[in-house]
A and B are shown apart, each in its own frame.
Chain A
Amino acid sequence: EAQVTQNPRYLITVTGKKLTVTCSQNMNHEYMSWYRQDPGLGLRQIYYSMNVEATDKGDVPEGYKVSRKEKRNFPLILESPSPNQTSLYFCASSLGSTGEKLFFGSGTQLSVL
């Protein structure tokens, strides 16, 4: 089944404890991206990757890191999480560029205490 898999689904952590949210897609998609969703703000793009070893900042990259060492995986790293990073996170992928729809993962609800 074609899908984008995010793990974990729920995560509670404490301020400053490094964490990684994994994202993997099995559709051979070139493009992958991360978003955070907060009430009243919609989804905001954190980082995106047009292909392997090509990543770029979205609108809210501060406090996040990403890497794209292989086509299928695009992990989101929070080196020192803070409470304002408590949010619902989505990973998404698409075949390529402007005209392609995004396929979304199920989301990761992160709480930073």
Chain B
Amino acid sequence: AQKITQTQPGMFVQEKEAVTLDCTYDTSDQSYGLFWYKQPSSGEMIFLIYQGSYDEQNATEGRYSLNFQKARKSANLVISASQLGDSAMYFCAMREGSVIYNQGGKLIFGQGTELSVKP
């Protein structure tokens, strides 16, 4: 069965330092997508980064990168040069299924990691 685990309920990081948020997943499917979303205190869900299971390179989006280790089933989010505005809840999520066959209806989220950036 699908499962996403985020083992860090809360984390602190000093401003301008890098931080890694952990995410491990479990799936028996070969085709899946992994996502990270940010939820600031205002409540909206903001897409950060995506990694496909067949992508050979780690995804990067500005200060965000995804450390994808397929054999270990981990998809950790790395935020470089943390800013005060990075303080938020972060969710890892997974969609299973073939893109070709338009699957991917089911989507699961981890429990979230609350990141606090200290000045």
Q: Which residues of A contact B (CB under 8 A)?
A: 30-31, 33, 35, 40-45, 48, 50, 56, 58-59, 88, 90, 92, 96-104, 106-107
B side interface size, CB within 8 A: 33
Q: Does B81 contact A (CB under 8 A)?
A: no
- Interface stretch of the complex, out of B12-20, B44-52, B70-78: B44-52
Residue of B nearest to A43 (CB): B109
B109 touching A97, Cβ below 8 Å:
no
Since A42-B112, A45-B106, A101-B50 are in contact, a sample of 13 more A-B pairs with Cβ atoms closer than 8 Å, ordered by chain A residue number, is A31-B105, A41-B111, A42-B110, A43-B91, A58-B106, A97-B95, A97-B98, A98-B96, A101-B35, A102-B107, A104-B44, A106-B44, A107-B44
| Interface CB pairs A-B, < 8 A, 29 | A31-B104, A40-B9, A40-B111, A42-B4, A42-B91, A42-B109, A42-B111, A42-B112, A43-B91, A43-B93, A44-B108, A50-B102, A50-B105, A58-B106, A58-B107, A88-B43, A90-B45, A92-B45, A96-B99, A97-B101, A97-B104, A98-B98, A100-B33, A101-B47, A101-B50, A102-B47, A103-B47, A104-B37, A107-B43
How many A-B contacts are there with CB distance less than 8 Å?
83
Task: Write the nearest CB–CB distance from B98 to chain A, whole angstroms.
Answer: 7
Contact of B32 among A44, A48, A98, A103 (CB under 8 A): A98
Question: In the complex, how many angstroms separate the beta carbon of B35 from the nearest chain A beta carbon?
Answer: 6
Chain A residues with Cβ below 8 Å from B6 are 42
- Residues of B participating in the A interface, judged by any CB pair closer than 8 Å: 4, 6, 9, 31-33, 35, 37, 43-45, 47, 50, 52, 91, 93, 95-99, 101-112
Q: Report the minimal beta-carbon distance from A107 to chain B, rounded to whole angstroms.
A: 5
Which residue of A has the minimal Cβ distance to B31? A98
Residue of A nearest to B96 (CB): A98
A45 touches B107 (CB 8 A): yes
Distance of A95 Cα from B43 Cα, bound (Å): 23
User: How distant is the Cα of A78 from the Cα of B111 in the complex, in angstroms?
Assistant: 25
Q: Which 10 A-B pairs have CB atoms at the shortest separation, nearest pair first?
A: A98-B104, A97-B104, A104-B45, A42-B109, A43-B109, A42-B111, A101-B47, A98-B33, A48-B105, A98-B95
